Amino acid sequence: MAASDRVLSSTLSDPPASPHPITYQWLLPNSRGLDNFLKVMDTASSGADGYPTPPPSPQHESGPAPNTSTSDADRMDATSHASASNDRNGHKHEVSIFLAATESFSKKNTNCTVQESLDRFAPLMAESRRRGFPVRAYISVALGCPFEGPDTDPHRVADLAVKLLEMGADEISVADTTGMGTAPATKQLLRTLKEAGVRNDDLAMHFHDTFGQALVNTMVSLDHGIRAFDSAVGGLGGCPYSPGATGNVATEDLVYTLHSLGAKTGVDLDESFESGQY
């Protein structure tokens, strides 16, 4: 069993205690990864190998299961688009995929063209949704590429976002993988996405802090109406194919900033800080 499968198995059989439901996002690079993911999920559901059999999921007779997003404009909700059909011990699980906005980064990172990425992910996304697992799609280097420079074409990003949504993605995480993004570039990208018909509710922003611009770009995104943001405790993260880039914006910095604006995140800042220190 691969290490990732062991982590998933452990999470299903002995989930961490939490006063609130957790949404787990499992990054799957290809159909083989999905097959392994579904195999572990099926094993857990059957109660085999000592895994508990989860309670039956709530059935909704009309329309899809309601998501957990909120209409409160001041609340940042990290569990949007989670489907009630994939509950495991009260928690939810999503499938995540990633592709790049530039050909150079795509070939370096995943050894294929952008179109080949789309072709690979189409059946994976269809099967994930058929099995009741929402799909989150990441678009890497959306605000700058280490091989093609800081001027990633926003129309290229918007075109990919539309294609991914049409393929069945529930949410698009627009990633500034290099941390090259600036306030004007972020504003232009968000405007271009909007003009392409991509809704704010379908977007999350994923900022790295290489040049200290992550919180600046977060503020621009907030003004635009975005309410979902990725972060990592202690500013962890990075990519071996993005030389010099640092990690994601630190969760404790992001939460502090949002709380200072009066936003409700549901995140305990003190606990987040302690996790970052650890």
In order of 56, 70, 168, the CA distances from 233 in angstroms are: 34, 24, 30
Q: Which residue has the tokens 């129309």?
A: 155
Closest CA relative to residue 17, chosen from 92, 94, 90, 68:
90
In order of 102, 105, 113, 189, 236, the CA distances from 110 in angstroms are: 12, 8, 8, 24, 21
| 239 among known catalytic residues | yes
Catalytic choice (143, 239, 245, 249): 239
Q: Which residue has the tokens 């691969």?
A: 2
104 Cβ neighbours under 8 A, 6+ residues apart: 145, 147, 148
267 CB burial (10 A radius; 0-12, 13-18, 19+): middle
111 CB burial (10 A radius; 0-12, 13-18, 19+): exposed
Secondary structure (DSSP) of 68-126: S--S-TTB--TTTT--GGG-BTTBEEEEEEEEESSHHHHHHHHSS-HHHHHHHHHHHHH
- Assess contact for 75 and 40: CB atoms under 8 A: no
Helices (H), 172-268: 183-195, 214-224, 251-260
Residues marked active site are found at 239
